[in-house]
Amino acid sequence: MPVPNDSLFGTDGIRGRWGVAPLDAASIECLGSALDMVMGPCRLLVGEDPRESSSRIRDHLLRGMSPRQQVATCGVIPTPGLSWGLRTGEWDWGIMITASHNPWMDNGIKLFAGDGTKADDRTQELVTAAFRRAEPKAGSGARQYRCQVAHEYATELRKWGADLNGNGISLVVDAANGAAAKIAPSLFSDLGYLVDMRGANPDGRNINENCGATHVETIQSAVRETGADLGVTLDGDGDRVLFVDCRGGLITGDHVLFALAGGMRKDRSRCLEGVVGTVMSNLGLELELTRRKIAFLRAPVGDRHVARVMREAGFILGGEPSGHTIYSPLQPTGDGLLTTLLFLGELGNEPAAAATRLCREMTWFAQETRSIHVEKKRDLDTWPELKQFKVQTLNRYGDRVRLLTRYSGTEPKLRLMAEAETEDLVRSILDELEALVGNDHNRDA
């Protein structure tokens, strides 16, 4: 089966338009055959989000496997629920069928190892190579049975939040018409919160439609209209979450890391050595944590990379500005519902005031990203003019400015990102950098 790019896998699994390669029926059955070859005889846990294509993708995927596979199907479950289920030790591999925050027409496949972590680069390479050799085959497919992991995960969430007392605190919760829509309402109401649920009626086509973490304006309006203490907005597969304070101000994943790190540093029993962010994490987070003598490391974009750097450094907390937050003592991947429970615990009995105070405490740096079309991708590490510009900027501004240059993984574009204390300074730096890079590329073209 031909593969259009070097790898089937992108930043977070396989993703594309349902019905179009590699997510057409024939390709998915070949993928099932490829997974069968790579995994060998195993116990497999499979979950899905509520898109109308998810069950069809599951059926085609399992049809491509051999009867030697024992497959437990969860039905609709948040991605972190599947990850948690794998940690029980009953299964060797996991597959989540979801396109996360993408629209309903898209879908995707995330592959997990038996310990609940996302499949590593080597496994993805093996699956891609096997997929290239695979051909559709007629057969009975894998053996299936239904399991109760989704229910068990919901029960575990209640245990994790057992010390919380909502005590009439009002929340607006947007479940993005996604995988967490069934679990979220009762989870928070059972803990005593007054819950105004939004995006909790998935119909297969309304996932992420003007709702959820990719449409924060929806939760911002809802919080302002209702006067709620806090807004909570999940994405389609429930692995990330953003928050809104009582005034409608956005609380990003960086804010959440700052709050959780502060609480864990005070609680010596949780052994916080440091925090892992990404190359996109705000400079303000790094400086505030450093000022508090909390180590900070940056990983490439993607919670899979954040988790890897956390393991390598021995850190228990990490995440992305987009809302993937990992607390490894309980979960090896991002979990929007768990993050909400942890964040509510840090905010205490007056979350409205605490959330507003949190936004004031963290110095937020202005950030802007621009893209330049390039005909060829020069080595950024050996580009003399670019290196000189970065050195001059560092000498002039010190650690109050951060520059990031990286190529797009899917387009012929060079991304230029700058952070500084003011928007005017960011624009000025990017204007200079864009002119330098653009002129240099035009000269070489």
pLDDT band at 408 (very low <50, low <70, confident <90, very high): confident
Among residues of the chain, what percentage have pLDDT more than 90? Answer: 83
Q: What is the mean pLDDT of residues 412-417?
A: 90
Q: What is the mean pLDDT of residues 182-211?
A: 97
Res 140: pLDDT: 77
Indicate if the alpha-carbon torsion angle 38, 236, 314, 268 is positive or negative: negative
The active-site residue out of 83, 100, 170, 322 is: 100
Of 148, 169, 180, 165, which is closest to residue 72 (Cα–Cα)?
A: 148
CA–CA distance, 334 with 287 (Å, rounded to integer) = 24
- The token pair that represents 410 in the structure block: 């899917």
Res 411: pLDDT: 74
Res 1: pLDDT: 57
Q: What's the pTM?
A: 0.91
Res 441: pLDDT: 58
The region, left, alpha or beta by phi > 0 then psi within -120 to 50, assigned to residue 167 is left
Burial bucket for residue 285 (CB in 10 Å: 0-12, 13-18, 19+): buried
Res 410: pLDDT: 61
Mean pLDDT of the chain: 93
Per-residue pLDDT reduced to its tens digit, 25-46: 999 999 999 999 999 999 999 9
- The secondary structure of residue 13, as a DSSP letter, is B
For the chain, the C-alpha Rg in angstroms (whole number) is: 23
CA–CA distance, 374 with 241 (Å, rounded to integer) = 34
Burial bucket for residue 83 (CB in 10 Å: 0-12, 13-18, 19+): buried
CA angle 118, 124, 130 (to 5 degrees): 140
Res 438: pLDDT: 79
CA–CA distance, 211 with 214 (Å, rounded to integer) = 7
pLDDT band at 378 (very low <50, low <70, confident <90, very high): confident
Q: What is the mean pLDDT of residues 352-361?
A: 88
Of 235, 411, 424, 413, which is closest to residue 325 (Cα–Cα)?
A: 235
Res 226: pLDDT: 97
- The token pair that represents 90 in the structure block: 């009953």
Residue 96, strand partner residues: 47, 110
Of 408, 419, 330, which is closest to residue 367 (Cα–Cα)?
A: 419
Res 19: pLDDT: 96
Burial bucket for residue 59 (CB in 10 Å: 0-12, 13-18, 19+): middle
Cα-based torsion angle of the residue sequence 390, 391, 393, 394 in order, rounded to the nearest 10 degrees: 110
Residue 95 has pLDDT above 80, yes or no: yes
Res 356: pLDDT: 87
The region, left, alpha or beta by phi > 0 then psi within -120 to 50, assigned to residue 95 is beta
Res 269: pLDDT: 61
Longest C-alpha distance within the chain, in Å? 67
Domains of the chain, first to last: 14-152 (3.40.120.10), 169-364 (3.40.120.10), 366-444 (3.30.310.50)
Per-residue pLDDT reduced to its tens digit, 64-74: 999 999 999 99
Pairing mode, if any, of strands 230-234 and 194-198? unpaired
Res 250: pLDDT: 95
Of 67, 70, 57, which is closest to residue 29 (Cα–Cα)?
A: 57
Burial bucket for residue 113 (CB in 10 Å: 0-12, 13-18, 19+): middle
pLDDT band at 268 (very low <50, low <70, confident <90, very high): low
DSSP for 54-118 reads HHHHHHHHHHTS-TT-EEEEEEE--HHHHHHHHTTSS-SEEEEE--TTS-TTEEEEEEEETTSSB
Residue with more model confidence, 180 or 265: 180
Residue 443 has pLDDT above 60, yes or no: no
pLDDT band at 126 (very low <50, low <70, confident <90, very high): very high
100 is catalytic: yes
CA–CA distance, 366 with 418 (Å, rounded to integer) = 8
Of 425, 430, 401, which is closest to residue 415 (Cα–Cα)?
A: 430
Of 39, 100, 49, which is closest to residue 71 (Cα–Cα)?
A: 39
Res 444: pLDDT: 54
Of 143, 123, 119, which is closest to residue 37 (Cα–Cα)?
A: 123
Residue with more model confidence, 165 or 84: 84
Residue 93 has pLDDT above 80, yes or no: yes
Residues with Cβ within 8 Å of 437's Cβ and at least 6 positions away in sequence, in order, are 372, 386, 405, 414, 416
- The token pair that represents 382 in the structure block: 């050996």
pLDDT band at 130 (very low <50, low <70, confident <90, very high): very high
CA atoms within 13 A on the CB side of 197: 17
